Amino acid sequence: MTVTTDRDGAIATVTLRRPEALNALNGNQLNALLAVATTLSADVSVRAVILTGEGQRAFAAGADIKEMAEMDPVQALAFTRLGHAVASAISGAPQPWIAAVNGVALGGGCELALACDIRVASQNAAFGQPEVMLGVIPGWGGTQRLPRLIGAGVASELILTGRRIGADEALRIGLVSAVYPSEELLGQATAIARTIASNAPGAVQAAKRAMAVVHDTDMAAGLAFEAQAFALSFATADQKEGMAAFIAKRAPNFTGS
Ligand code: HXC
C-alpha cells in the first residue's frame, strides 16, 4: 500500500508510503490518494485529517520524475489533471486537512501541502518548487496556490529560481504555521487536529468553505457568503449548545447536528 489511513477517533492520518523514492508520487499513488481523500470526505465521523510521509527524510520529493520523463503532452495533461483532482479533493474536503511536513516537500510534494488547510513542519523539513530546473513548471496547483498563500513576490522568487528553503524560512514567510523537532511533529499535528475535532463540526466546515471563497470572489460577494453561512449556523443544535455551554460555564457537547 503506497497510501495508508490510520484512524484515531475523529482523526484520520494519511501517510504517503514510498520511502525508497522519498515518497515521490507516481500515477498509481496519486489515484490511491484520490480514493482515500474521496472516502474520507464522505465519512462524517472524520473531523480532521493529517497528511504526512513515511520516514524522517521526506513528506514527498515531488511527482515521480522517472515516470514523467517518458510522458508525451497528452499524458502530461492527464497527469497534471490528476494532481489537480487530488489537490481539489483535499482543499474541497469538508474536513480540515493538516500537512505534517516531516522532510522534503518539493515540487508536487509542496503542492500537496499547499492544498491542505494548515501546514506544520519538522525542523529538518525543506520546501521548494524546483520544476523549472527540470524544464517544466509546477503542475499540481503551485503557480496558483503559492502566490495566494505567501504573496506574489516571494512566490515568484521561489518558483522562478527553484530555490529550496528550510523550515525556519518557511515559517518566516508564512508557508507553515509552526516548526517542531521531528519527534514531536505528529504529536503536535494530532493536537491541532484534536482541537479542531473538539469544535462544532458544522461551524468548522462552514468556516473552511467561507475562507475558500476568498480566492474566487471579490470582498462584497465574500462577505455575502460569510453572512449566509453565519446565519445558517443558527439552524444547528451545536450553535445552541456552544452558546448555552459558554453561558453555563461548562464544556460544550457537540453532536454535529
Ligand atoms: C522519482 C525520486 C524523486 C522524484 C527522489 N527520488 N526524488 N524518484 N521522482 N521526484 C528517488 C531517487 O531517484 C533515489 O532513488 C531515491 O529517491 C533517493 O533520492 P536521492 O536523490 O538519492 O537522495 P538525496 O541525495 O538525499 O537527495 C534528496 C533530494 C533529491 C534532494 C530530495 O532526491 C531530489 O532532488 N529529488 C527530486 C526533487 C524534485 O525535483 N522534485 C520535483 C519533481 S517535479 P534511486 O533508485 O535512484 O536510488 C514535480 C512536478 C509536479 O514534482 C507537477 C506534475 C504535474
CB-based contact 29:61 (threshold 8 Å): no
Catalytic residues: 111, 131
pLDDT (mean) for 6-24: 97
pLDDT (mean) for 68-90: 97
d(CA 240, CA 114): 34
> Would the CB of 104 count as within 6 Å of ligand 1?
yes
d(CA 255, CA 84): 33
Task: Kindly give the number of the ligand 1 atom that is closest to the alpha carbon of 21.
Answer: 17
DSSP string, 8-57: ETTEEEEEE--GGGTT-B-HHHHHHHHHHHHHHHT-TT--EEEEEESSSS
Smallest CA-to-CA distance from 163 within 128, 193, 195 is with 128
> Would the CB of 25 count as within 6 Å of ligand 1?
no
Backbone angles phi, psi at 162, to 5 degrees: 75, 10
Q: Which residues of 110-133 are buried (b: 16+ CB within 10 A; e: fewer)?
A: bbbbbbbbbbbbbebbbbbbbbee
Domains and CATH numbers, the chain: 3-197 (3.90.226.10), 201-248 (1.10.12.10)
216 falls in which pLDDT band (50, 70, 90)? confident
Reply yes or no on whether the pLDDT at 160 is more than 90. yes
pLDDT (mean) for 212-231: 91
CB-based contact 2:13 (threshold 8 Å): no
d(CA 111, CA 84): 10
> Would the CB of 141 count as within 6 Å of ligand 1?
no
Rounded distance from Cα 235 to ligand 1 centre (Å): 50
Residue to probe by mutation, ligand 1, list 2, 16, 22, most atoms within 8 Å of CB? 22
Element (H, E) at 241: helix 237-247
**For atom 38 of ligand 1, which residue has the closest CA?**
61
pTM of the model: 0.96
Reply yes or no on whether the pLDDT at 233 is more than 90. yes
How much of the chain exceeds pLDDT 90, in percent? 98
Beta strands in the chain (DSSP E): 3-8, 11-16, 48-53, 58-60, 97-101, 104-106, 118-122, 126-128, 165-166, 178-180
**For atom 32 of ligand 1, which residue has the closest CA?**
61
> Would the CB of 89 count as within 6 Å of ligand 1?
no
> Would the CB of 86 count as within 6 Å of ligand 1?
no
Residue for grid cell 503542475: 139
pLDDT (mean) for 112-135: 98
DSSP secondary-structure letter at 178?
Answer: E
> Would the CB of 63 count as within 6 Å of ligand 1?
yes
CB-based contact 85:78 (threshold 8 Å): no
